[in-house]
Structure 1
Amino acid sequence: MSGSTAGPEALEPLVRAVLAALADGAARRGGPVPAGPPDALAEHVAGEYAAARGEGALSRLTSLLAYGSADPADPLCAAHLHCPPLAVAVAADLAVSALNPSQDSWDQAPAATTLETLLLGEMAELVGYDERAAGVLTSGGTESNLMGLMLARDRVVGRASGRQVELAGVPRRGPRLRVFTSAAAHFSVQRAAALLGLGEDAVVPVAVDRDLRMDPDALAEALDRCADDGGLPVAVVATAGTTDTGVIDPLRACAELAAEHGAWLHVDAAYGGGALLSDRLAPLLDGLALADSVSLDWHKLGWQPVAAGVFLVRRAETYASLARRAVYLNPPDDEEAGYPSLLGLSLRTTRRADAFSIAVTLRTLGREGLGRLVDACHDLARAGAEAVRSHPRLELCSEPELTAFLFRYLPARGPYDPVRTDRINAALRRGLLREGRAVVGRTELPGTGPGRVRLKLTLLNPHATPADVERLLHAVAEAGRAEEAAEEAAGRHTGETGEETP
């Protein structure tokens, strides 16, 4: 076993074996992602899995995992909000795995219960909340957004209907329930609405401006229209750091409009919450403290291993509908005797002590040290955007507000054709993956029709350099030229209609 006084002795040779296997697998990979098509990798994984037996299985499969991973610590792996975790956070996570505390009752996690409570107090203060706030560690933004909309539903619909929604359910009759969020918001808002019985159709997409930021005038019009139609605005979900461009909705304006219409304001700051660590970027989150609830993810701009989500509410009493009593976990006489329980703060029962690695990191580096890492990534993104601007075959499509930006490759041959341009950008990204050269993101701008495919860099490696980003962009351009050459060799071209002809 990994715990007790004998645990470290049992773990030590195994940890050494894991570390050696990690180095071996990364060396064999030799880049940000393993080269080759997906089916070849799947076949290799299946073969190694079948062959791994006995005491050698740990080393063999760990080496396989390292070889077959997309490595966010490689400067050419920059597609997603997928950070390279800090070594100190991973070491702290090992301690959690070894001891295996569960946060659903004090007698399973005596120290970890208090540590999570203390950490959440610091997180609330960072957001701008006072001592009346409450919160919990979550699996990430999707769970946090679900919790925010659940509490919004219970409070706002409960107030309008005069019933406890968590007990009686969503009323079958009455005003149509609506949730308002930007057209660039995360898909988890729609998923949460479906899970909560509101239905995905209850989510009203609000128009964005040219920077893909929610337009407050459009939000005001949508809320007024809902009121005129007899609907009930349940929540406004603002985004602080969209997944594609990292832009931040006008939080203060969203808060004022939500309050005016009696709606709950939830801010999805899973990405942008990391700006709170930076003196330079924190002002971008002006108005965050006005939110009724907030989601943060420290496994993005916090360099923690997954999962390190945080959900906070401005007022602890709004948590009432989540309160639960299970006699085998949190009997009232235990709590009266001073044994606290976190059970009523989470949607989960068994729950890892994920607060520990965040707490260790925060105590090791401090806000200032983490803020320097945030600023380094912001500087990297600005340098990358400038490199795109200066490249003859690349087009910058969004300025970096945080650490991400959109761009695309512009074919050199022939007149601009949106269908062909989309196809080449999509294909060059797959080509880079197939060759194991780079991991670049892909998205599409809001709207319809061709010409919307964009490439994306999300720069979360504070040890990467502007030269690394330039190397990545040159790889993109080379891959684009290769796709053009392949089309020409195949005798393909497109006309003005965008239809491919031999």
Structure 2
Amino acid sequence: MHELLNRSSATAYADLLDTATGMIASRFATVRQPFSGAGRTELQQLVDEVDLDGAGVGSEAAVRELDGVFLEHAVWFHDPAYVAHLNCPVALPAVAAESVLAAVNTSVDTYDQSTVGTLIERRLVEWTGSRIGFAQGDGVFTSGGTQSNLHAMLLAREWTLARQDAPRHEVLPRLHILATASSHFSVDKAALLLGLADDAVVTVPDDGEGRMDPVALAATLAAIRAAGRIPMAVVATAGTTDRGVIDPVAAIAAHCDAHDVWLHVDAAYGCGLLVSPTRRHLIEGVERARSVTVDFHKSFFQPVSSSAILVRDQADLAGGAWHADYLNPRENAEPNQVDKSLQTTRRFDALKLWTTIRALGADRIGELFDAVVDLAAIVHDEIAGDPELELVGRSQLSTVLFRATPAGTDAATHDALVAQVRRVLFDSGRALVAKTVIDGRPCLKFTLLNPESTLDDVRGVLALVKDAAATLPGIAPELGADLEDALVGTEATA
């Protein structure tokens, strides 16, 4: 039995990969809904029945076992009825590159572990920086937007502390991060991890639709200064998770410049605008930020994980550097990514993006992102004209917020239906939608990130929502099994 990938196992590796890709290809060809609908108890039993302490079953058997244990019950983001979260179907060349980087197992923390891999990542960082407008920028790939935002706040903290006369321990409790209520939760988490005060994150009022109000920002900055506190960073969001709206970055940047405050732009969702042929103007001013988060595994159709943090001034990355003789010896002149990253061992995720850009071209990626934003705009109009649905605001990206409003029901029922409809659809496996809370009221949420989805596909999911909502009023919230049966007749519309 070949257990490790090496010279003698090359043929076995090719055969095993053929088995795995054949299984996956078969699933992609036959999947007709995003989830099997299996219950938690059934799935737990399926997992628990696998003996992890016994003798191995062999590579071929173990891989084939995945078909029933995992693939049968996976959540399939490529299915048009998956409209829940910021998950996208992935570009074919990126999947091929994923198999390459996994097999070689490159770690891009140091040059002597990666050689050309480090140079490819650096070239992509330079390319992304140029798309942002950073002429002398730098950056590093990360595991995702949460890590990128944490890294940005660390750099902002160190940059701010370096500009103060007082000792570090006296300054830390006075630091503040300014963001809106719609900013990603990772901003608050970063404040906690960085040892800031419990009240460090200050909420800046928005325009009523989730976008930061620049006038309110100016007033908040002035108030913080007047109170003897220190604004450490302002976080503008280019694509909020819930509403899919974009803060007015240029106006925000003007106030940050005036107050000499670090501006971070969280473009994890909206980074597809960097290659959009029609909507690049929506993030005008992003080049004035000191740091930017991008998530290629959202808007560039990359497999998880593929994200990055970019900085306008490469010197700012020094705020997170740490020396270890075995990794970054001072006499070493070779490029060294461990100086830039919060991670040490790190996957060569840049290879997936590199291969995708080479295969499709940046313009084509931008067109694919535009397609989902265009579709969302049409769906907004569709919902606005449907008496059984209520549109909750409009997105600038691909988010759709709405409620089911069956005839003869009131607002309280509409609110109660949100969680119930989402649950019955999930339990049936026929459609996966998300829910959130906007202005104190729950609502359903679509996040459209499949460029191959059509308006008819989305109409099919909306029909499922409406059918479930029409069945649910007057039924106990604990949702009996008969509710799933109520969806069987809607199969033709899905």
- Give TM-score scaled by structure 1 length: 0.90
Distance in 1 between residues matched to 2:255 and 2:147, nearest whole Å: 25
Alignment-derived partner of residue 455 in structure 1: 444
> How far apart are 1:380 and its partner, in Å?
1.5
1:92 aligns with 2:89: no
Are residues 379 and 49 of structure 1, via their aligned partners in 2, closer, same or farther at CA, if it must alter by over 3 Å?
Answer: farther
Distance in 1 between residues matched to 2:173 and 2:477, nearest whole Å: 59
Amino acid at match of 1:321: G
* Residue 22 of structure 2, aligned match among 10, 20, 23: 20
Alignment-derived partner of residue 161 in structure 1: 165
Alignment-derived partner of residue 263 in structure 2: 265
Distance in 2 between residues matched to 1:421 and 1:42, nearest whole Å: 33
SS of residue in 2 equivalent to 1:172: helix
Deviations 1:132-153 (Å, cap 9, x if unpaired)? Answer: 2110000111111111111111
Alignment-derived partner of residue 241 in structure 1: 239
1:393 aligns with 2:388: yes
Deviations 1:270-290 (Å, cap 9, x if unpaired)? Answer: 001111111211110000000
132-141 vs 394-403, greater mean Cα deviation: 394-403
41-50 vs 254-263, greater mean Cα deviation: 41-50
Whether the aligned pair in 2 keeps the contact of 1:278 and 1:374 (CA below 8 Å) is yes
Q: How does 1:33-52 map to 2 (within 5 A)?
A: 33-47=35-49
Are residues 464 and 312 of structure 1, via their aligned partners in 2, closer, same or farther at CA, if it must alter by over 3 Å?
Answer: same
Alignment-derived partner of residue 418 in structure 2: 425
Distance in 2 between residues matched to 1:40 and 1:410, nearest whole Å: 33
Q: How does 1:122-271 map to 2 (within 5 A)?
A: 122-130=127-135, 132-161=136-165, 170-172=168-170, 176-271=174-269
Count residues in correspondence. Answer: 474
> How far apart are 1:7 and its partner, in Å?
5.7
357-366 vs 382-391, greater mean Cα deviation: 382-391
SS of residue in 1 equivalent to 2:402: strand
Distance in 2 between residues matched to 1:73 and 1:156, nearest whole Å: 43
Deviations 1:422-469 (Å, cap 9, x if unpaired)? Answer: 22111010000001110001100144xxxx101111111111111101
- Percent same amino acid among aligned pairs? 38
Distance in 1 between residues matched to 2:182 and 2:51, nearest whole Å: 40
Alignment-derived partner of residue 350 in structure 2: 355
Whether the aligned pair in 2 keeps the contact of 1:235 and 1:266 (CA below 8 Å) is yes
Alignment-derived partner of residue 479 in structure 1: 468
Alignment-derived partner of residue 101 in structure 1: 106
Deviations 1:37-77 (Å, cap 9, x if unpaired)? Answer: 32222223333566994341211124422222111100000
> How far apart are 1:200 and its partner, in Å?
4.2
Distance in 2 between residues matched to 1:489 and 1:211, nearest whole Å: 33
Alignment-derived partner of residue 331 in structure 1: 329
Amino acid at match of 1:318: D
> How far apart are 1:23 and its partner, in Å?
4.5
User: What is the root-mean-square deviation in Å for CA atoms of aligned residues?
Assistant: 2.2
Distance in 2 between residues matched to 1:366 and 1:306, nearest whole Å: 20
Whether the aligned pair in 2 keeps the contact of 1:179 and 1:236 (CA below 8 Å) is yes
Alignment-derived partner of residue 498 in structure 1: none
Distance in 2 between residues matched to 1:246 and 1:265, nearest whole Å: 20
Deviations 1:309-339 (Å, cap 9, x if unpaired)? Answer: 110100011122223332212223332xxx2
Whether the aligned pair in 2 keeps the contact of 1:26 and 1:66 (CA below 8 Å) is no
Distance in 2 between residues matched to 1:237 and 1:489, nearest whole Å: 40
Whether the aligned pair in 2 keeps the contact of 1:2 and 1:10 (CA below 8 Å) is no
Distance in 2 between residues matched to 1:147 and 1:435, nearest whole Å: 40
Alignment-derived partner of residue 495 in structure 1: none
322-331 vs 16-25, greater mean Cα deviation: 16-25
* Residue 466 of structure 1, aligned match among 446, 455, 469: 455
Amino acid at match of 2:145: G
Distance in 1 between residues matched to 2:121 and 2:166, nearest whole Å: 34
Alignment-derived partner of residue 496 in structure 1: none
| Structure 1 unaligned residues grouped into runs of 5+ | 164-169, 491-502
Distance in 1 between residues matched to 2:332 and 2:62, nearest whole Å: 44
Are residues 174 and 299 of structure 1, via their aligned partners in 2, closer, same or farther at CA, if it must alter by over 3 Å?
Answer: closer
Alignment-derived partner of residue 117 in structure 1: 122
Distance in 1 between residues matched to 2:308 and 2:217, nearest whole Å: 27
| Structure 2 unaligned residues grouped into runs of 5+ | 480-494
Distance in 2 between residues matched to 1:258 and 1:96, nearest whole Å: 40
Are residues 175 and 161 of structure 1, via their aligned partners in 2, closer, same or farther at CA, if it must alter by over 3 Å?
Answer: farther
> How far apart are 1:484 and its partner, in Å?
1.6
Alignment-derived partner of residue 13 in structure 2: 11
1:439 aligns with 2:432: yes
Distance in 2 between residues matched to 1:73 and 1:174, nearest whole Å: 45
> How far apart are 1:27 and its partner, in Å?
7.4
Alignment-derived partner of residue 167 in structure 1: none
Whether the aligned pair in 2 keeps the contact of 1:72 and 1:82 (CA below 8 Å) is yes
Distance in 1 between residues matched to 2:160 and 2:119, nearest whole Å: 32
> How far apart are 1:2 and its partner, in Å?
6.5
SS of residue in 1 equivalent to 2:302: coil
Deviations 1:241-288 (Å, cap 9, x if unpaired)? Answer: 001121000101111111222210001000011111112111100000
Whether the aligned pair in 2 keeps the contact of 1:26 and 1:67 (CA below 8 Å) is no
- Give TM-score scaled by structure 2 length: 0.91
Are residues 2 and 85 of structure 1, via their aligned partners in 2, closer, same or farther at CA, if it must alter by over 3 Å?
Answer: farther
